[in-house]
Amino acid sequence: MPARLTGKRVLLLGAETEVGRACAEALIEAGATLALVAANGDAETAFAVKRLAKRLGAPVSQAIYATNEAAVRVMVRQVSKALGGLDAVVDATRNAASREMFQRLTARELERTGGGVFVVAHDHVDVVVAVAGDKA
Per-residue pLDDT band for 136 (boundaries 50, 70, 90) equals very low
Element (H, E) at 55: helix 43-56
- Pairing label, strands 88-91, 117-120: parallel
- What are the φ and ψ backbone dihedral angles of 44, each rounded to 5 degrees? -60, -45
Q: At what angle do helices 124-132 and 18-29 cross, to 10 degrees?
A: 40
pLDDT score recorded for residue 19: 95
* For residue 108, pLDDT beyond 60: yes
Which residues lie below 8 Å from residue 44, measured CB to CB, with a gap of 6+?
Answer: none
In contact, 125 and 136? CB cutoff 8 Å: no
* For residue 135, pLDDT beyond 60: no
* For residue 3, pLDDT beyond 80: no
Average pLDDT over residues 79-98: 93
Per-residue pLDDT band for 1 (boundaries 50, 70, 90) equals very low
In contact, 105 and 72? CB cutoff 8 Å: yes
pLDDT score recorded for residue 117: 92
- Which region among 47-51, 68-72, 121-125, 128-132 has the lowest average model confidence (pLDDT)? 121-125
Q: What is the pLDDT of residues 40-55, one digit of tens each?
A: 999 999 999 999 999 9
